[in-house]
C-alpha cells in the first residue's frame, strides 16, 4: 500500500502546500472598506445608521452589547462589527421567532415547523447626478449560509427603470475568521439623481437554515475603482494516511480561489509531485476538479484539466477555464489516479511551490495573451 504522510509523526514527509498570494501589481488588501480617495457620494458605518434605510424580514441593526449573536457559538458569527459598534445583520436573535434551539440563525419558526424567509435592506436615495462615468460600491461583509449557493445574497440598484442586479454573493469556501471587503461596479447608475442599493437575503426553502446569516457594514459609494484584481490562492492538504494501488480520484488537496474585485480567469496550474523519492510512475494521472458549490468532493464536480507527472512536475492547461468573481469564491480539487503497479511503501504528495504556479489569462489585443502572476508573498 502507498502511504500519504502528513497525518502522523512523519510530518516532515507531508504533502507540501505553499500559501501563495497572487497579485498583478499591488499588495493584497485585507480588512474593511478603504477610505474614500476621491468623491464620496454615500457612506454609512451604521453607528448609528443614517436616516432613510428600510428593512424587512430578519434584517436589523446589530449593535455590540445589544445584539446577542456576536461571538455566539450557535453558528459562525463575528465577534463584533467591522467598525464598532454597529452593523446590519440578517438573522433571528431569539427563539421564537427562530426554531427552538436555533436562536442567532435564520431558521424561522412557522408554528412548529421551519419556513422559508427573505428580506430586503435598502439604502436611502443616493444622488449620483454629479458623478462621472465610474461609480463603485464598497462594503464589508461576514456571512455563513447553507453550503455556498443554496441561499441567495443579492445586491441590486434602482435608479428609475427597475432593479438591476449588480452582485450575487455566495458563501465563503471556508468559515470566515475576519470581515471581507467587497467592491462592486455600479456605474449603471452613474448620473442618476436618485439611486438606492438593496441587499436581499433569501433562504429559498425551509431546509438547512441554521446558520449565522449575513452581516453588512461600512457601506461606501465613491468613484474609486480598483485597478488591480488581486487573485488569492489558498491550498489545503487533504491527503489520506494511505491508499491502495489501483485507486482512482484519490483526493490529495484543494485550492481555494478568491479575487478582491471584478474577476480573474485561471487557465493553467502547475503541480509538483513530492515523495521519498518522488516517482512519476506512482501517479498515472492528476486532475483538477471544479467544486459544484457544496464544498464536498464528489458527484457534481466537473473536471477542468488533467495531466501526468514528468520529472516530478506537471503543468495543466485547463480545458475549461475557471472564472473567479469578487464575492464568489471557487474551489479546485486535486485528485490522483494511483496505478495498480505503484510501488508499495512509496510516499507521494503534491506541492504548489509559489504563486507563479497558477496562471491567470489576461486577454490582450489578440484575445489570447496569457500571463503567469509572479509571487508576492509565499510561506511554506
115 exposure class (CB count in 10 Å sphere: 0-12, 13-18, 19+): middle
Cell reading at 100: 427552538
pLDDT given at position 159: 95
Contact 336, 308 (CB under 8 A): no
Contact 76, 51 (CB under 8 A): no
pLDDT given at position 332: 96
Cell reading at 303: 473536471
Domain formed by 40-222, architecture? Sandwich (2.60)
Name the nearest CA neighbour of 230 among 78, 358, 364.
358
pLDDT given at position 227: 53
For the chain, 380 residues long, give each residue's pLDDT as a single digit of tens: 333 333 332 222 222 222 222 222 212 222 333 333 468 999 999 999 999 999 999 999 999 999 999 999 889 999 999 999 999 999 999 999 999 999 999 999 999 999 999 999 999 999 999 998 889 999 999 999 987 567 999 999 999 989 999 999 988 878 999 999 998 999 999 999 999 999 999 999 999 999 999 999 999 999 887 656 778 888 898 988 888 999 999 999 999 998 877 788 899 999 999 887 789 999 999 999 999 989 999 999 999 999 999 999 999 999 989 999 888 899 999 999 999 999 888 889 998 887 778 887 743 322 332 332 222 222 22
Tell me the C-alpha to C-alpha distance, in Å, between residue 236 and each of 27, 60, 228.
Answer: 22, 36, 25
Contact 43, 221 (CB under 8 A): yes
Give CB contacts under 8 A, 24+ apart, made by 290-295: 290/320, 290/322, 290/330, 290/331, 290/332, 290/333, 291/173, 291/254, 291/330, 291/331, 291/332, 291/333, 293/147, 293/148, 293/149, 293/170, 294/147, 294/148, 294/149, 295/147, 295/148, 295/173, 295/331
**DSSP letter, residue 373:** P
Length of the chain: 380
pLDDT given at position 322: 92
Domain formed by 2-26+229-379, architecture? Sandwich (2.60)
Domain locations in the chain as residue ranges: 2-26+229-379, 40-222
pLDDT given at position 124: 98
Amino acid at each position: 500500500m502507498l502511504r500519504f504522510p502528513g497525518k502522523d509523526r512523519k510530518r516532515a514527509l507531508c504533502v507540501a502546500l505553499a500559501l501563495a498570494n497572487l497579485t498583478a501589481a499591488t499588495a493584497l488588501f485585507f480588512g474593511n472598506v478603504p477610505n474614500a480617495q476621491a468623491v464620496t457620494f454615500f457612506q454609512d458605518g451604521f453607528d448609528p445608521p443614517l436616516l432613510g434605510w428600510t428593512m424587512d424580514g430578519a434584517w436589523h441593526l446589530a449593535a455590540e452589547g445589544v445584539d446577542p449573536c456576536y461571538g455566539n457559538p450557535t453558528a459562525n458569527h463575528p465577534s463584533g462589527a467591522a467598525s464598532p459598534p454597529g452593523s446590519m445583520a440578517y438573522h433571528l436573535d431569539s427563539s421564537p421567532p427562530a426554531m427552538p434551539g436555533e436562536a442567532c440563525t435564520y431558521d424561522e419558526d412557522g408554528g412548529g415547523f421551519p419556513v422559508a424567509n427573505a428580506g430586503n435592506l435598502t439604502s436611502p436615495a443616493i444622488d449620483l447626478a454629479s458623478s462621472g462615468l465610474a461609480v463603485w460600491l464598497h462594503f464589508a461583509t461576514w456571512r455563513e449560509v447553507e453550503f455556498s449557493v443554496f441561499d441567495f445574497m443579492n445586491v441590486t440598484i434602482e435608479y428609475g427603470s427597475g432593479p438591476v442586479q449588480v452582485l450575487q454573493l455566495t458563501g465563503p469556501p471556508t468559515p470566515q475568521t475576519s470581515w471581507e471587503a467587497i467592491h462592486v461596479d455600479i456605474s449603471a447608475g452613474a448620473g442618476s439623481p436618485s439611486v438606492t442599493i438593496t441587499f436581499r437575503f433569501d433562504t429559498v426553502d425551509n431546509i438547512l437554515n441554521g446558520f449565522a446569516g449575513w452581516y453588512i457594514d461600512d457601506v461606501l459609494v465613491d468613484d474609486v475603482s480598483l485597478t488591480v484584481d488581486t487573485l488569492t490562492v489558498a491550498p489545503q492538504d487533504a491527503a489520506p494516511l494511505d491508499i491502495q494501488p489501483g485507486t482512482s480520484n484519490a483526493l490529495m488537496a484543494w485550492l481555494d480561489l478568491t479575487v478582491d474585485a471584478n474577476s480573474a480567469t485561471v487557465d493553467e496550474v502547475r503541480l509538483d509531485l513530492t515523495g521519498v523519492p518522488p516517482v512519476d510512475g506512482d501517479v498515472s494521472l492528476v486532475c483538477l476538479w471544479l467544486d459544484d458549490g457544496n464544498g464536498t468532493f464528489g458527484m457534481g464536480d466537473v473536471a477542468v484539466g488533467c495531466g501526468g507527472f514528468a520529472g516530478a512536475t506537471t503543468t495543466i492547461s485547463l480545458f475549461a477555464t475557471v472564472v473567479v468573481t469578487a464575492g464568489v469564491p471557487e474551489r479546485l480539487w486535486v485528485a490522483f489516479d494511483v496505478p495498480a503497479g505503484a510501488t508499495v511503501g512509496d510516499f507521494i504528495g503534491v506541492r504548489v511551490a509559489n504563486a507563479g504556479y497558477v496562471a491567470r489569462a489576461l486577454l490582450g489585443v489578440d484575445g489570447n495573451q496569457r500571463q503567469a502572476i509572479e509571487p508576492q508573498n509565499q510561506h511554506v
